[in-house]
């Protein structure tokens, strides 16, 4: 496996590759990231994982400075999974000058849910991913559904810009107790880790109620938020939305997703579950 730090080296390495798959990451990899590599394997001859902690997608109250940088163990995991190239640029490579040109996602998708609580986040995500697409020039890119809203933003960006890239969504990888794997789970204390499954349980309860026929989505959202907060969480949102665009769901919708974001101690956790009626 090649570990490459500059765009010129990357393009030289990939020049003769006919079909490239990209898995963009911020490092501090877990089994969920490795699953993306496995999904990419049958879809391309060359698998590239990028590792870059993107300052543009972090707000002033986010954890950019403390986000773990673990390049060596990340490379060991990627090599064992069969990755061919790790592209690990530094900030001066990705942003050699101030990034005054940015990608501004559709307001109806960018400014709701995560976007409401993290203003500018999806602008930063879309901008860096478009840059990575231009650097790597893949034919396939894999994104996990754990970051559901992010996946939709990037799917729509590729479609509207007519980029020749197949966007493949990957199902969320979970621990045995249901907790969605996330790099931020490492911030949890031992007691918080036990408590952390409550968010998944709340979303799972809503999904079960909808499958059982409940259609008062606002009531389900209020009850779940109240239960989380009563347990000491600080909930940003629990929302039942349409899968295709995350707009408000009507009772006639057949393809729904319930999403939640809540803070446990100092760690903000997000999760979602699809509902197909």
Shared domain check, 162 and 41 = yes
What tens-digit pLDDT sequence spans the chain (277 residues)?
999 999 999 999 999 999 999 999 999 999 999 999 999 999 999 999 999 999 999 988 787 888 889 999 999 999 999 999 999 999 999 999 999 999 999 999 999 999 999 999 999 999 999 999 999 999 999 999 999 999 999 999 999 999 999 999 999 999 999 999 999 999 999 999 999 999 999 999 999 999 999 999 999 999 999 999 999 999 999 999 999 999 999 999 999 999 999 999 999 999 999 999 9
Q: Does 177 fall in a domain?
A: no
Q: Does 175 fall in a domain?
A: no
Shared domain check, 159 and 218 = no
Shared domain check, 122 and 249 = no
pTM of the model: 0.95
Question: What is the distance between the alpha carbons of residues 221 and 78, in angstroms, rounded to a whole number?
Answer: 39
| Residues with catalytic roles | 33
Shared domain check, 129 and 7 = yes
Distance of CA 185 to the CA centre of its chain: 14
Shared domain check, 119 and 243 = no
Q: Does 53 fall in a domain?
A: yes
End-to-end CA separation in angstroms for the chain = 44
- The single-letter DSSP state of residue 180 is B
- Enclosing domain of residue 196: 183-276
| Boundary residue ending a domain (129, 144, 170) | 170
CATH number at residue 268: 3.30.1300.10
């Amino acid at each position: 496996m090649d570990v490459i730090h500059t765009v010129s080296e990357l393009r030289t390495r990939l020049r003769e590759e006919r079909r490239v798959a990209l898995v963009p990451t911020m490092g501090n990899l877990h089994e969920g990231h490795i699953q993306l590599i496995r999904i990419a394997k049958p879809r391309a001859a060359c698998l590239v994982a990028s590792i870059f902690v993107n300052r543009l997608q972090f707000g002033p109250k986010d954890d950019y400075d403390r986000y773990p940088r673990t390049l060596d163990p990340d490379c060991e995991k990627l090599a064992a999974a069969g990755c061919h190239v790790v592209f690990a640029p530094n900030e001066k490579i990705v942003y050699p000058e101030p990034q005054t040109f940015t990608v501004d996602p559709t307001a109806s998708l960018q400014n709701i849910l995560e976007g409401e609580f993290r203003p500018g986040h999806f602008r930063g995500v879309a901008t860096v991913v478009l840059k990575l697409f231009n650097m790597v020039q893949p034919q396939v890119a894999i994104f996990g559904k754990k970051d559901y809203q992010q996946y939709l933003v990037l799917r729509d960006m590729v479609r509207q810009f007519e980029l020749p890239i197949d966007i493949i969504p990957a199902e969320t990888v979970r621990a045995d107790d249901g907790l969605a794997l996330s790099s931020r789970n490492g911030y949890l204390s031992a007691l918080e880790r036990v408590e952390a499954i409550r968010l998944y349980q709340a979303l799972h309860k809503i999904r079960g109620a909808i499958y059982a026929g409940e259609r008062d989505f606002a009531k389900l959202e209020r009850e779940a938020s109240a239960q989380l907060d009563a347990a000491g969480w600080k909930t940003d949102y629990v929302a039942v939305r349409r899968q295709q665009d995350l707009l408000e769901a009507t009772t006639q919708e057949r393809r729904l997703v319930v999403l939640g974001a809540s803070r446990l101690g100092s760690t903000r956790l997000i999760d979602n579950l699809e509902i197909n009626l």
